[in-house]
Structure 1
Amino acid sequence: MPTIAIILGGIKLKLVTVEEHYDTDRNIKEFNQYSEVKNNNPRQDQLRPDLVDFSNKVAYMDKYGIDFQVISDAGNSPQVLPDQYAVDGAHAQNETLAENISKYPDRFAGLATLPANTPDEAAKELDYAVTKLGLKGGIISGSVNGQFLDDPKFEPIFAAADKLGTTLYLHPGVISNDQKAMLYDSKAYNALGATMMAGAMWGWHMEQGIQMLRIITSGIMEKYPHFKIASGHWGEFVPMFPERIDGFSPIITDLPLKFSDYYKRQVYLSPSGMFTAPQMQLVLTEMGADHIMWSEDFPYVQSGNEVRQFLEQADITDAQREAIAHGTAETVFDLK
């Protein structure tokens, strides 16, 4: 992996970002044709060149000093297609991702799209993607047709990830219409306001925090201690509450460890372009730099020089900076 030489206190800081995204023309066409979930980004057509063309990604990385990206498809992915299209769609998406990575092996690694609503097929695809295509884990976006991942039907996915010792990235997804209507629609503001509140402003992240709470509380990490979870947006609210959750957990579970023990053992966090000092300090306090990675959420977020400058200028030690910039990601995604 090349190092872009930007000097910080005499140290050349290598920068790896881990929640960066791509798409394919085939998936865009199938999503528009078959998906019952609305496009969750109104700029999708505008962003197409940066999603589809990997040379655009490299040019952006070179311009702003990003050495390496871990790429995945999120949101408008084959995961949300009807089952009869999701399996083949996810497989095609992963084949294309691996082909693109092969052209730039020193700049990209990838995470597999999983047809999560067909868990046995998702487990097979994860195994194939990791063992045959060389991808570094899988990604699941939001709840799955309104179902949370603690449902026993999804256990094959966790069993496969555990056997492989790999990482699942839990990315936000579009929440259900029922959730949106109950929690976010209001006569006090317009429909666009409700959509934003239910999505990138708040709702996606709250639902994904609930996803994490349910996964750990249901005992999945007790049963499967060898897989890892990556979580963006500074942990989707969860790092604010581990002590509170620990206090109530004995009422609802008899797991041998506290919620926070599982969380701090198997979960790794990144900012997803939320370059904000208070959240960074909170997550550092709760998790430590060895559980923090860096991410921009490209191309949905394009922060330019801030991607590197925020981390370079952050009020942290050089050792923490190195871990967050590349060391943790290299461990979590086996980039060495």
Structure 2
Amino acid sequence: VFFAEGRAQIEVARMVNDAYADLIAKRPGRFLGFASIPMDDPDGALRELARVLDELRLQGVVLLSNIRGRALADPAYRPFFAECDRRKACVFVHPMIPAAAEPFGEYVLGPIVGFPFDTTLAVARLCYAGVFKELPNIRWLIAHAGGAIPYLLERLDSGWRDFAECRANIDEPPSTYLKRLYYDTVTFSPNNLRLLRDVVGTDHLAMGSDYPHLLGSIDKAISSIEGLDWDATEKERVFSGTALALLANLPARLAHVV
């Protein structure tokens, strides 16, 4: 969707979302979907948001960490996020190659380093811009364990304390808002998962696999959690409990598993 241009972007989004809805209708107990949104067209984005949530009954929307180089924190997107907030929608932020892509062109650094880098940048900008403060009802799910956000929490808070620009739009340290977000577990590193659990708790962690991306793995998604010294209740929360609490209509759909 994000590589299409103009009117084609709206058409591609509708095609993709209709395909998701058709698959879910055929196997309602096995599949769910996040909708693609034509963010280059503000009015079209709002129309498609209403359609996918009201008519197709998808579970939320997925956005890339930048839209053709434009930050998600750009004021142009605020009406869209305001509507997401009104609807208490789930917004899944997945990384994209950073806008300044040249440094990531060798050694496959785009997905290896660029993805978590751009996730970190997108979330930090959304936070400092006041989006998380002003629109607290959006259920944000951040891919790849939040990039470097958990590691940088204290540094982000220091920026808020030390620089007036970082306090202009938020009343509390960034960590206050960032701990309210949800994060998937696509890091597969026990040390990283322990840090994330210490920061946000397992009730804000949801298992992710990144499958079928080359860096993704269903086996690692499971084993990285099973191998942790967490009790069964915490592991079950990460495997399914957080998703049940986070995604709209999920418990009802699970009742129809075949």
Partner of 2:182: 268
Q: CA 1:304–1:88 in 2, change beyond 3 Å: closer, same or farther?
A: closer
Are 2:228 and 1:314 aligned? Answer: yes
SS of the residue corresponding to residue 112 of structure 2 reads coil
Is residue 2:50 matched to residue 1:136? Answer: no
Q: Given the alignment, which residue of 210, 213, 217 partners 1:300? A: 213
SS at match of 2:71: coil
- Aligned partners of 2:86, 2:228: CA distance in 1, in Å? 37
Maintained 8 Å contact 1:119/1:155: no
State the partner residue of 2:101: 180
Letter in 1 for 2:226: E
Alignment partner, residue 218 of structure 1: 129
2:185 partner letter: P
Query: What is the aligned length?
Result: 245
Cα displacement (A) at 1:170: 0.7
TM value normalised by structure 2 = 0.90
Do the aligned residues in 2 keep the contact of 1:90 with 1:113 (CA within 8 Å)? Answer: yes
Q: Call closer, same or farther: CA 1:200–1:184 in 2, change over 3 Å.
A: closer
Unmatched 5+ stretches in structure 2? 252-258
Deviations 1:121-177 (A, max 9, x none): 11221121111111111011131111101111111220121011011111011333x
Cα displacement (A) at 1:320: 1.0
Distance 1:97 1:320 in 2: 31
CA distance in 2, matches of 1:243, 1:308: 30
* Partner Cα separation in structure 1 for residue 207 and residue 29 of structure 2: 18
What amino acid is aligned across from residue 68 of structure 2 in structure 1? N
Q: Deviations over 1:13-48 (max 9, x none)?
A: xxxxxxxxxxxxxxxxxxxxxxxxxxxxxxxxxxxx
Give distance in 2, aligned partners of 1:85 and 1:114.
12
Cα 1:307–1:221 change in 2 (3 A) is: closer
The letter for the 1-side match of 2:130 is G
Q: Which amino acid aligns with 1:260?
A: S
* Structure of greater Rg: 1
Matched residue SS, 1:109: coil
Alignment of 1:1-336 (within 5 A): 78-176=1-99, 179-181=100-102, 183-184=103-104, 192-193=106-107, 196-197=108-109, 199-250=110-161, 251=163, 252=165, 253-254=167-168, 255-265=170-180, 267-272=181-186, 274-301=187-214, 303-334=217-248, 335-336=250-251
Aligned-partner Cα distance in 2 for 1:305–1:201:
19
Q: Summarize the Cα distance change of 1:175–1:91 in structure 2 as closer, same or farther, 3 Å threshold.
A: same
2:93 aligned counterpart, secondary structure? strand
Q: Scaled by the length of structure 1, what TM-score is found?
A: 0.70
Q: Percent identity?
A: 24
Q: Which moved more, 1:164-173 or 1:247-256?
A: 247-256
Q: Give, in whole Å, the separation in 2 of the partners of 1:271 and 1:307.
A: 7
1:62 corresponds to: none
Deviation at 1:83, TM superposition (A): 1.9
Shift of residue 118 of structure 1?
1.4
Are the aligned partners of 2:209 and 2:217 in contact in 1 as well (CA < 8 Å)? Answer: yes
